[in-house]
Structure 1
């Protein structure tokens, strides 16, 4: 039986370029990239050096602090380059894929396996990377036991992939994954869905919550806050819904299959739709055969427009994203843009803007921030789009002046950068809220652990 959660505070940003519900196989990528920066706080120790041949699911590097935590190749092929940054930091591992894929067999694991066997299998196979924890929004520490596990099966972000569509037909893998995860916690596995037609709604071993309301109703942070908030000394784990399919397939077949259905969306895409590809594939295999002008002034984003990461035209899909968004680059100057009526932009304020007159209108927005960085202005607007029981302005300021006691008292243990994406979007001061929260979490992780 589902438990309803209704969100009233928030903001739906309706954009042009939503992906049509048709799926094609993407052009097979020649190269795949794994970037350790996708696994925040992990210090990688390289195993597969240049020239090493690997199978799909074979270890590329492990976590220096927890050696049992492996990170694996999404494809079989040859490690042709290890890209390094300052102080020989590993920036990316480039793999030239084989035409015929081979998989490392990790062995099947049946439903009767105990928690220790499941944990060991997820760690050695690379699937542990899909499990994150709060506090700190980092890859989960397997030595800690979570009080609950949270999975969001409803994506409310602008142009996000429809999870009801991408997960259709994967019920067996989803069930295997949640059954295994339920053994790793003494609490419950909480799943949010947008409708009763979701493939996640009929699973066993989970507590289903039907969520509704504007974005960020689909954020896992909203689910945590409304169901079981994180207090000092407590840990919860989170898993992306599509990553459950990879975990479930590993348990059922013994293979790490990094296949992912990705939505290509945005106003710069002439034919937005879904593609079947693999983690770390080149974005060019999906973007430039679909009406995106190679010489156009567009921004390619791995992820959604609020929380995604800008990638170069020759860049790659990051480890956790299931959408590629392409929108116009907003590097133009708008003459007297601050002093004239605006009809083609979204705003929570009614001053010179008219988006409130037509709430269902879809907008063709670019990346322009429409203003420059300035000191915080107290407007009370953050609270209108922030549904968590937390004071957003105060917690942001506490992070900026690094007051750990105040950050703890204000609820820093249960937030992640994505929870502040909307407040950043509407911020008249143009402050980088997600960056501020990330730096605050990093400070807490370093000082408190």
Structure 2
């Protein structure tokens, strides 16, 4: 019987706009983009130029600090554009997709019969390696390191999160092959976290060679960082790797079929989406495939990911590699009568000063929220609000203040190794001081990585 961990601190933000549990008709992906901004901790160099012909699995750029790790095209076709920004920073490589995909043949193989070095080489060459993220710092995993454990969160507790059972349905064989490969990469366990209150995907519950732990409680119970802290905390010198379940499936396809087949399923959610459904697509697909003609009129914000940790993009943007949903909500730039002073019931708050607190606490109210922060940045004070939604044994405000003043020793002592941006996303939501908590933490993580490695 699996263990059950209870998460007491946190909050579920229930929003209007959950996706119906059915799939929309498939749409042809005409263009994809691979975005270096998705990958922390690597210095990238392109290997292609505009006009080059590529296959699915052809490297588009590589890690200059570890040239074996390639970042590959998810489709076959022609390189349409190498997009650069200020100081020639590489922003995107876009590929016009063929109607019928051609794949680089990496050779099918049973991972149970392969040595660790061979598995790493195959994953690094095919474009699958970047799916593995390393903690501390939440960067692309280092092929030269061996993690003490690998963690997979088998459910998502973020607002409007997709149902993992639908994302993984019918892919038991691929998931197990991926697990068999991952087992060779660590001397420790592969941990899979499941929701104790809901029925989990049989793809996860029937997997062999994993240690299952169930979690009960509000968001961020589904965040892999919370699960690590409850099962096998990260201390100085420790290394833990994490990976999404849908990416384990892609790794499994690599070993079963010998190709980088980056097909995924996503949910299209949000109050401003007309037809909210699940979609079969591919990593790097254009967001307009899901939003064109499918959003309400007005000034809306399109987010690749969820409303807490996702990235704002326009309708010409592309899916990020690590996201499993697209969300559309109102921008919230219209003037509001009396602003925050008016005691409305449609405002989300954890404070008892607003009447909506009663509905959230004792009812099943769903909110139609926008991006308005209802205030500007102000003095950063200790209010005790962070601790209500932050289920780590860490002083969050003190940690962020240490980051702001770049006090490396204090950052280390206050537990920065244990957290990444998504772990503190709720702190940003409830922050009275309106601090950009996630970006502050990312600055701290980058400073620690540069100074201490």
User: How many aligned residue pairs are there?
Assistant: 447
SS in structure 1 of the partner of residue 66 of structure 2: coil
Length-normalised TM-score, structure 1: 0.98
SS in structure 2 of the partner of residue 87 of structure 1: helix
> Take 1:299 and 1:158, find their aligned partners in 2: how far apart are those partners?
16
1:94 alignment counterpart: 94
> Take 2:254 and 2:162, find their aligned partners in 1: how far apart are those partners?
23
Shift of 1:196: 5.0
Shift of 1:25: 4.0
SS in structure 2 of the partner of residue 200 of structure 1: helix
Shift of 1:34: 0.8
2:42 alignment counterpart: 42
> Take 2:120 and 2:4, find their aligned partners in 1: how far apart are those partners?
31
**Cα deviation digits, residues 90-130 of structure 1 (max 9, x gap):** 11101111111111111112022121111111111110000
2:402 alignment counterpart: 398
2:152 alignment counterpart: 151
Asked whether the 8 Å contact 2:359–2:365 carries over to 1, the reply is no
Shift of 1:340: 2.4
Shift of 1:24: 2.6
Shift of 1:357: 3.1
Shift of 1:255: 1.1
1:67 alignment counterpart: 67
Shift of 1:331: 0.6
Asked if 1:197 corresponds to 2:219, the answer is no
Asked if 1:113 corresponds to 2:117, the answer is no
1:306 alignment counterpart: 308
1:117-128 matches, within 5 Å, as: 117-128=118-129
1:285 pairs, out of 276, 289, 292, with 289
SS in structure 1 of the partner of residue 447 of structure 2: helix
1:335-414 matches, within 5 Å, as: 335-358=337-360, 359-414=363-418
1:318 alignment counterpart: 320
Asked if 1:418 corresponds to 2:422, the answer is yes
SS in structure 1 of the partner of residue 410 of structure 2: helix
Asked whether the 8 Å contact 2:351–2:357 carries over to 1, the reply is no
Asked if 1:51 corresponds to 2:51, the answer is yes
> Take 2:337 and 2:381, find their aligned partners in 1: how far apart are those partners?
24
SS in structure 2 of the partner of residue 13 of structure 1: coil
2:171 alignment counterpart: 170
Shift of 1:339: 2.1
Q: Give structure 1 regions of 4+ aligned residues with deviation exceeding 4 angstroms.
A: none
> Take 1:375 and 1:31, find their aligned partners in 2: how far apart are those partners?
45
**Cα deviation digits, residues 306-338 of structure 1 (max 9, x gap):** 000001111111111110000011112212223
1:24 alignment counterpart: 24
Asked whether the 8 Å contact 1:132–1:139 carries over to 2, the reply is yes
Asked if 1:4 corresponds to 2:7, the answer is no
RMSD of aligned residue pairs (Cα, Å): 1.1
Length-normalised TM-score, structure 2: 0.97
Asked whether the 8 Å contact 2:153–2:224 carries over to 1, the reply is yes
Asked if 1:269 corresponds to 2:242, the answer is no
1:85 alignment counterpart: 85
Unmatched 5+ residue regions in structure 1?
Answer: none
Asked whether the 8 Å contact 1:55–1:103 carries over to 2, the reply is yes
1:190-229 matches, within 5 Å, as: 190-194=191-195, 195-198=198-201, 199-229=203-233
Distance 1:219 1:65, change over 3 A: same
**Cα deviation digits, residues 143-197 of structure 1 (max 9, x gap):** 1110000000110000111112211111111111111111111110011011453
> Take 1:352 and 1:32, find their aligned partners in 2: how far apart are those partners?
45
Asked whether the 8 Å contact 1:26–1:285 carries over to 2, the reply is no
> Take 1:182 and 1:388, find their aligned partners in 2: how far apart are those partners?
28
> Take 1:251 and 1:298, find their aligned partners in 2: how far apart are those partners?
41
Shift of 1:29: 2.4
> Take 1:375 and 1:28, find their aligned partners in 2: how far apart are those partners?
50
> Take 2:151 and 2:199, find their aligned partners in 1: how far apart are those partners?
18
**Cα deviation digits, residues 347-405 of structure 1 (max 9, x gap):** 11011332323431111111111111112122101101001111111111111111110
1:138 alignment counterpart: 139
> Take 2:29 and 2:253, find their aligned partners in 1: how far apart are those partners?
22
**Cα deviation digits, residues 259-298 of structure 1 (max 9, x gap):** 11010000001221100011111111111243x13x5211
> Take 2:392 and 2:69, find their aligned partners in 1: how far apart are those partners?
32
